[in-house]
Amino acid sequence: MEAVGLSSISKSYGDFTAVSNLSLSIPKGIIFGLLGPNGAGKTTTIRMIVRITVPDEGAVTIFSQQLTPKMQERIGYLPEERGLYKKMKVREQLLFLAGLKSVSAQEADKKIKYWTERLEISNWLEKKTDELSKGMQQKIQFISTILHSPELLILDEPFSGLDPINANLLIEVIQELKKSGCTIILSTHVMEQVEKLCDEICIINRSQKVLDGNLKTIKREFGNNRIALAVEGDSSFLRNSPFVENWTEFLHHIELDLCEGVDSQQLLRQVIDSGVRVTRFELVEPSLNEIFIKKVGKSNE
Ligand code: ATP
Protein backbone atom coordinates (compact mmCIF):
# COMPACT_ATOMS: atom_id res chain seq x y z
CA MET A 1 0.00 0.00 0.00
CA GLU A 2 1.09 3.54 -0.76
CA ALA A 3 1.87 5.96 2.10
CA VAL A 4 2.49 9.03 -0.06
CA GLY A 5 1.69 9.61 -3.72
CA LEU A 6 2.84 12.66 -5.62
CA SER A 7 1.35 12.99 -9.04
CA SER A 8 3.11 15.56 -11.27
CA ILE A 9 3.25 18.26 -8.60
CA SER A 10 4.71 21.68 -9.35
CA LYS A 11 5.18 24.81 -7.28
CA SER A 12 6.46 28.23 -8.34
CA TYR A 13 7.18 31.40 -6.42
CA GLY A 14 6.73 34.22 -8.91
CA ASP A 15 8.83 33.31 -11.95
CA PHE A 16 10.90 30.84 -9.97
CA THR A 17 10.03 27.13 -10.16
CA ALA A 18 10.83 25.44 -6.84
CA VAL A 19 9.37 22.01 -7.74
CA SER A 20 8.65 20.92 -11.28
CA ASN A 21 6.43 18.04 -12.37
CA LEU A 22 7.47 15.70 -9.55
CA SER A 23 5.89 12.25 -9.30
CA LEU A 24 6.70 9.75 -6.55
CA SER A 25 5.11 6.74 -4.97
CA ILE A 26 6.34 6.01 -1.44
CA PRO A 27 5.22 2.59 -0.16
CA LYS A 28 4.05 2.08 3.41
CA GLY A 29 6.53 0.88 6.01
CA ILE A 30 9.78 2.02 4.40
CA ILE A 31 12.35 4.73 5.09
CA PHE A 32 12.50 7.03 2.09
CA GLY A 33 15.36 9.47 1.54
CA LEU A 34 14.52 12.76 -0.15
CA LEU A 35 17.87 14.11 -1.25
CA GLY A 36 19.24 17.01 -3.21
CA PRO A 37 21.62 19.97 -2.99
CA ASN A 38 20.69 23.23 -1.26
CA GLY A 39 17.73 24.90 -2.89
CA ALA A 40 16.76 21.79 -4.88
CA GLY A 41 13.13 21.85 -3.71
CA LYS A 42 13.07 19.26 -0.90
CA THR A 43 11.47 21.41 1.78
CA THR A 44 8.96 22.78 -0.72
CA THR A 45 8.02 19.19 -1.60
CA ILE A 46 7.65 18.25 2.07
CA ARG A 47 5.49 21.33 2.67
CA MET A 48 3.20 20.22 -0.13
CA ILE A 49 2.97 16.71 1.38
CA VAL A 50 1.89 18.09 4.77
CA ARG A 51 -0.24 20.76 3.07
CA ILE A 52 1.48 23.79 4.56
CA THR A 53 1.50 24.88 0.95
CA VAL A 54 -0.56 23.60 -1.98
CA PRO A 55 0.84 22.61 -5.37
CA ASP A 56 0.07 24.86 -8.35
CA GLU A 57 -0.43 21.70 -10.36
CA GLY A 58 -0.74 17.99 -9.62
CA ALA A 59 -2.05 16.08 -6.63
CA VAL A 60 -0.80 14.71 -3.32
CA THR A 61 -2.34 11.70 -1.60
CA ILE A 62 -1.58 10.31 1.85
CA PHE A 63 -2.56 6.67 2.41
CA SER A 64 -4.33 6.93 -0.98
CA GLN A 65 -6.59 9.80 0.14
CA GLN A 66 -6.54 13.57 -0.04
CA LEU A 67 -5.13 15.01 3.16
CA THR A 68 -7.89 16.12 5.56
CA PRO A 69 -7.38 17.96 8.88
CA LYS A 70 -8.30 14.71 10.70
CA MET A 71 -5.56 12.85 8.84
CA GLN A 72 -2.97 15.40 10.02
CA GLU A 73 -3.09 13.49 13.32
CA ARG A 74 -1.59 10.46 11.55
CA ILE A 75 1.44 12.52 10.47
CA GLY A 76 4.46 13.70 12.41
CA TYR A 77 6.54 16.50 10.86
CA LEU A 78 9.90 17.70 12.12
CA PRO A 79 10.54 20.88 10.14
CA GLU A 80 13.98 22.16 9.22
CA GLU A 81 13.47 25.34 11.23
CA ARG A 82 13.03 24.56 14.92
CA GLY A 83 10.14 25.91 16.93
CA LEU A 84 10.12 25.25 20.67
CA TYR A 85 8.86 27.71 23.27
CA LYS A 86 12.08 28.92 24.87
CA LYS A 87 10.69 29.90 28.26
CA MET A 88 8.51 26.85 28.77
CA LYS A 89 9.71 23.85 30.78
CA VAL A 90 10.42 20.77 28.65
CA ARG A 91 7.75 18.50 30.22
CA GLU A 92 5.08 21.25 30.03
CA GLN A 93 5.97 21.87 26.43
CA LEU A 94 5.81 18.22 25.43
CA LEU A 95 2.44 17.81 27.18
CA PHE A 96 1.12 20.89 25.39
CA LEU A 97 2.33 19.75 21.96
CA ALA A 98 0.94 16.23 22.50
CA GLY A 99 -2.40 17.79 23.47
CA LEU A 100 -2.49 19.61 20.12
CA LYS A 101 -2.42 16.17 18.47
CA SER A 102 -5.28 14.90 20.68
CA VAL A 103 -3.11 12.74 22.95
CA SER A 104 -4.58 12.49 26.48
CA ALA A 105 -2.43 13.81 29.34
CA GLN A 106 -2.13 10.30 30.83
CA GLU A 107 -1.01 8.78 27.52
CA ALA A 108 1.35 11.71 26.86
CA ASP A 109 2.93 11.24 30.31
CA LYS A 110 3.72 7.61 29.55
CA LYS A 111 5.14 8.43 26.11
CA ILE A 112 7.22 11.35 27.44
CA LYS A 113 8.74 9.04 30.04
CA TYR A 114 9.51 6.34 27.48
CA TRP A 115 10.97 8.58 24.76
CA THR A 116 12.96 10.92 27.01
CA GLU A 117 14.57 7.86 28.62
CA ARG A 118 15.14 6.25 25.20
CA LEU A 119 16.80 9.43 23.93
CA GLU A 120 18.70 9.89 27.20
CA ILE A 121 17.29 13.30 28.06
CA SER A 122 14.87 12.55 30.91
CA ASN A 123 16.98 14.52 33.43
CA TRP A 124 16.14 17.73 31.59
CA LEU A 125 12.35 17.52 31.74
CA GLU A 126 12.00 20.20 34.43
CA LYS A 127 14.41 22.66 32.76
CA LYS A 128 13.37 25.56 30.57
CA THR A 129 14.03 24.95 26.88
CA ASP A 130 16.52 27.82 26.56
CA GLU A 131 18.71 26.12 29.19
CA LEU A 132 19.19 23.17 26.82
CA SER A 133 21.96 22.86 24.24
CA LYS A 134 21.11 22.87 20.53
CA GLY A 135 21.40 19.08 20.29
CA MET A 136 19.20 18.58 23.36
CA GLN A 137 16.54 20.88 21.94
CA GLN A 138 16.74 18.89 18.73
CA LYS A 139 16.01 15.68 20.64
CA ILE A 140 13.07 17.31 22.45
CA GLN A 141 11.61 18.56 19.20
CA PHE A 142 12.02 15.09 17.70
CA ILE A 143 10.16 13.60 20.67
CA SER A 144 7.37 16.16 20.25
CA THR A 145 6.99 14.91 16.65
CA ILE A 146 6.40 11.28 17.63
CA LEU A 147 4.35 11.53 20.86
CA HIS A 148 1.10 10.89 18.97
CA SER A 149 2.56 7.71 17.34
CA PRO A 150 2.30 8.95 13.74
CA GLU A 151 1.92 6.46 10.91
CA LEU A 152 3.83 8.79 8.60
CA LEU A 153 6.86 10.63 9.96
CA ILE A 154 8.59 13.35 7.95
CA LEU A 155 12.01 14.42 9.18
CA ASP A 156 13.76 17.42 7.62
CA GLU A 157 17.45 17.36 8.64
CA PRO A 158 16.82 15.49 11.91
CA PHE A 159 20.53 15.01 12.64
CA SER A 160 21.52 18.67 12.56
CA GLY A 161 23.20 19.70 15.80
CA LEU A 162 23.65 16.11 17.02
CA ASP A 163 27.07 14.73 17.91
CA PRO A 164 27.99 11.28 16.46
CA ILE A 165 26.80 9.42 19.60
CA ASN A 166 23.40 11.12 19.62
CA ALA A 167 23.14 10.78 15.82
CA ASN A 168 23.60 7.01 16.25
CA LEU A 169 20.99 6.98 19.01
CA LEU A 170 18.55 8.73 16.67
CA ILE A 171 19.37 6.26 13.88
CA GLU A 172 18.43 3.40 16.26
CA VAL A 173 15.18 5.13 17.21
CA ILE A 174 14.25 5.75 13.56
CA GLN A 175 14.87 2.07 12.82
CA GLU A 176 12.73 1.14 15.83
CA LEU A 177 9.88 3.33 14.51
CA LYS A 178 10.14 1.66 11.11
CA LYS A 179 9.90 -1.77 12.78
CA SER A 180 6.71 -0.65 14.48
CA GLY A 181 5.18 0.03 11.04
CA CYS A 182 5.78 3.77 10.67
CA THR A 183 6.65 5.12 7.20
CA ILE A 184 9.47 7.65 7.35
CA ILE A 185 10.51 10.33 4.88
CA LEU A 186 13.96 11.61 5.63
CA SER A 187 15.56 14.68 4.11
CA THR A 188 19.24 15.05 4.89
CA HIS A 189 22.56 15.99 3.34
CA VAL A 190 24.44 13.31 5.30
CA MET A 191 24.79 10.44 2.87
CA GLU A 192 26.27 8.00 5.40
CA GLN A 193 23.01 8.21 7.36
CA VAL A 194 20.98 7.68 4.21
CA GLU A 195 23.06 4.58 3.43
CA LYS A 196 22.40 3.24 6.92
CA LEU A 197 18.68 3.96 6.96
CA CYS A 198 16.95 4.32 3.61
CA ASP A 199 15.25 1.60 1.58
CA GLU A 200 14.43 3.93 -1.29
CA ILE A 201 15.67 7.36 -2.32
CA CYS A 202 14.88 10.20 -4.67
CA ILE A 203 17.43 12.83 -5.67
CA ILE A 204 16.07 16.14 -6.86
CA ASN A 205 18.14 18.90 -8.39
CA ARG A 206 16.98 22.34 -9.49
CA SER A 207 13.34 21.44 -8.88
CA GLN A 208 13.41 18.19 -10.86
CA LYS A 209 13.77 14.52 -10.06
CA VAL A 210 17.09 13.19 -11.37
CA LEU A 211 17.08 9.71 -9.83
CA ASP A 212 14.78 7.52 -7.74
CA GLY A 213 14.37 3.91 -6.73
CA ASN A 214 15.54 1.19 -4.41
CA LEU A 215 18.91 2.16 -2.89
CA LYS A 216 20.47 -1.31 -3.24
CA THR A 217 19.41 -1.53 -6.90
CA ILE A 218 20.72 1.97 -7.62
CA LYS A 219 24.08 1.11 -6.07
CA ARG A 220 24.29 -2.13 -8.01
CA GLU A 221 23.52 -0.33 -11.27
CA PHE A 222 26.12 2.34 -10.62
CA GLY A 223 28.60 -0.22 -9.42
CA ASN A 224 29.20 -2.19 -12.61
CA ASN A 225 32.21 -0.25 -13.80
CA ARG A 226 34.49 0.04 -10.78
CA ILE A 227 37.05 -2.65 -10.08
CA ALA A 228 39.20 -3.17 -7.02
CA LEU A 229 42.35 -4.94 -8.09
CA ALA A 230 45.44 -6.26 -6.37
CA VAL A 231 48.28 -8.04 -8.17
CA GLU A 232 51.72 -9.36 -7.41
CA GLY A 233 54.08 -7.87 -9.97
CA ASP A 234 54.30 -4.69 -12.01
CA SER A 235 50.83 -3.25 -12.62
CA SER A 236 51.94 -0.01 -14.30
CA PHE A 237 50.77 -1.30 -17.73
CA LEU A 238 47.20 -0.67 -16.50
CA ARG A 239 47.77 3.08 -16.63
CA ASN A 240 47.79 2.87 -20.42
CA SER A 241 45.06 0.24 -20.70
CA PRO A 242 42.41 1.14 -23.33
CA PHE A 243 39.79 -0.28 -20.94
CA VAL A 244 40.55 2.02 -18.01
CA GLU A 245 39.24 5.54 -17.47
CA ASN A 246 40.29 6.47 -13.91
CA TRP A 247 42.92 5.03 -11.67
CA THR A 248 43.41 5.47 -7.91
CA GLU A 249 46.17 3.73 -6.02
CA PHE A 250 45.58 2.69 -2.38
CA LEU A 251 48.04 1.06 0.03
CA HIS A 252 47.08 -2.53 -0.80
CA HIS A 253 44.99 -2.25 -3.96
CA ILE A 254 44.13 -0.16 -7.01
CA GLU A 255 40.66 1.07 -7.93
CA LEU A 256 39.85 1.46 -11.60
CA ASP A 257 36.85 2.82 -13.45
CA LEU A 258 36.21 0.99 -16.71
CA CYS A 259 35.56 3.03 -19.86
CA GLU A 260 31.93 3.10 -20.94
CA GLY A 261 30.89 -0.10 -22.72
CA VAL A 262 33.87 -2.12 -21.44
CA ASP A 263 33.12 -5.44 -19.73
CA SER A 264 35.10 -6.31 -16.61
CA GLN A 265 36.13 -9.61 -18.24
CA GLN A 266 38.05 -7.72 -20.93
CA LEU A 267 40.17 -6.09 -18.27
CA LEU A 268 40.59 -9.37 -16.38
CA ARG A 269 41.87 -11.02 -19.56
CA GLN A 270 44.36 -8.19 -20.13
CA VAL A 271 45.62 -8.48 -16.55
CA ILE A 272 46.08 -12.25 -16.74
CA ASP A 273 47.73 -12.03 -20.19
CA SER A 274 50.25 -9.55 -18.78
CA GLY A 275 51.68 -12.33 -16.63
CA VAL A 276 51.12 -10.73 -13.17
CA ARG A 277 49.52 -12.81 -10.43
CA VAL A 278 46.00 -11.58 -9.52
CA THR A 279 45.23 -11.63 -5.79
CA ARG A 280 42.05 -9.53 -5.90
CA PHE A 281 39.63 -8.67 -8.69
CA GLU A 282 36.30 -7.40 -7.47
CA LEU A 283 33.42 -5.21 -8.64
CA VAL A 284 32.92 -2.49 -6.02
CA GLU A 285 29.82 -0.43 -5.31
CA PRO A 286 30.23 3.33 -5.37
CA SER A 287 29.20 5.27 -2.27
CA LEU A 288 25.93 7.18 -2.31
CA ASN A 289 28.03 10.32 -2.00
CA GLU A 290 29.66 9.56 -5.36
CA ILE A 291 26.32 8.70 -6.96
CA PHE A 292 24.86 11.97 -5.64
CA ILE A 293 27.75 14.06 -6.99
CA LYS A 294 27.66 12.27 -10.37
CA LYS A 295 23.90 12.60 -10.87
CA VAL A 296 23.64 16.19 -9.65
CA GLY A 297 26.75 17.18 -11.65
CA LYS A 298 25.36 15.58 -14.82
CA SER A 299 21.99 17.29 -14.45
CA ASN A 300 23.73 20.66 -13.96
CA GLU A 301 25.59 20.30 -17.28
P1 ATP B 1 18.05 23.15 1.51
O2 ATP B 1 18.78 21.86 1.36
O3 ATP B 1 18.99 24.32 1.38
O4 ATP B 1 17.17 23.23 2.71
P5 ATP B 1 15.73 22.64 -0.23
O6 ATP B 1 16.00 21.57 -1.25
O7 ATP B 1 14.95 22.26 0.94
O8 ATP B 1 17.11 23.32 0.17
P9 ATP B 1 13.65 24.57 -0.77
O10 ATP B 1 13.62 25.19 0.59
O11 ATP B 1 12.55 23.67 -1.16
O12 ATP B 1 15.04 23.85 -1.03
O13 ATP B 1 13.75 25.76 -1.81
C14 ATP B 1 13.74 25.56 -3.22
C15 ATP B 1 13.84 26.90 -3.90
O16 ATP B 1 12.60 27.58 -3.74
C17 ATP B 1 14.91 27.80 -3.32
O18 ATP B 1 15.58 28.47 -4.38
C19 ATP B 1 14.15 28.80 -2.47
O20 ATP B 1 14.77 30.05 -2.48
C21 ATP B 1 12.79 28.85 -3.17
N22 ATP B 1 11.71 29.11 -2.21
C23 ATP B 1 11.30 28.27 -1.24
N24 ATP B 1 10.28 28.80 -0.53
C25 ATP B 1 10.05 30.03 -1.06
C26 ATP B 1 9.13 31.10 -0.77
N27 ATP B 1 8.24 31.01 0.20
N28 ATP B 1 9.21 32.21 -1.55
C29 ATP B 1 10.10 32.31 -2.55
N30 ATP B 1 11.00 31.34 -2.88
C31 ATP B 1 10.97 30.23 -2.15
Q: Is 44 in the pocket of ligand 1 (CB under 6 A)?
A: yes
Ramachandran angles phi, psi of 145, nearest 5°:
-80, -20
- β-pair type (16-27, 2-13): antiparallel
- Tell me how far the alpha carbon of residue 80 lies from the centroid of ligand 1, in angstroms: 12
Pocket test for ligand 1, best of 16, 189, 210 (most atoms within 8 A of CB): 16
- Tell me how far the alpha carbon of residue 165 lies from the centroid of ligand 1, in angstroms: 30
pLDDT score at 183: 98
Specify the ligand 1 atom closest to the Cα of 157.
4
Alpha carbons within 13 angstroms on the beta-carbon side of residue 206 total: 7
Nearest to 90 by CA among 120, 57, 130, 118: 130
- Tell me how far the alpha carbon of residue 67 lies from the centroid of ligand 1, in angstroms: 23
- Tell me how far the alpha carbon of residue 44 lies from the centroid of ligand 1, in angstroms: 6
Cα–Cα distance between 139 and 191 in angstroms, integer? 20
Nearest to 204 by CA among 14, 22, 9, 7: 22
- Tell me how far the alpha carbon of residue 9 lies from the centroid of ligand 1, in angstroms: 15
- pLDDT of 152 higher than 80: yes
The CA R_g of the chain, rounded to the nearest whole Å, is 24
Q: Is 81 in the pocket of ligand 1 (CB under 6 A)?
A: no
For the ranges 63-67, 198-202, 212-216, the lowest mean pLDDT is seen at 63-67
- Tell me how far the alpha carbon of residue 2 lies from the centroid of ligand 1, in angstroms: 26
Q: Which amino acid residue places its CA nearest to atom 26 of ligand 1?
A: 13
Nearest to 112 by CA among 97, 127, 132: 97
CATH fold of 224-284, please?
Alpha-Beta Plaits (3.30.70)
218-249, pLDDT tens digit by residue?
988 887 788 999 999 888 888 889 999 888 88
pLDDT score at 220: 84
Domain 2-217 has CATH 3.40.50.300: yes
26-50, pLDDT tens digit by residue?
999 999 999 999 999 999 999 999 9
Residue spans per domain, the chain: 2-217, 224-284
Pocket test for ligand 1, best of 6, 11, 13, 155 (most atoms within 8 A of CB): 13
pLDDT score at 181: 95
Q: Is 41 in the pocket of ligand 1 (CB under 6 A)?
A: yes
Q: Which one is predicted more confidently, 165 or 251?
A: 165
pTM: 0.86
Sorted by sequence, the CB contacts under 8 Å of residue 276 that are 6+ apart come out as 231, 232, 233, 234, 235
| Mean pLDDT to the nearest integer, 67-86 | 85
- In this structure, are residues 79 and 185 in contact, taking their beta carbons and an 8 Å threshold? no
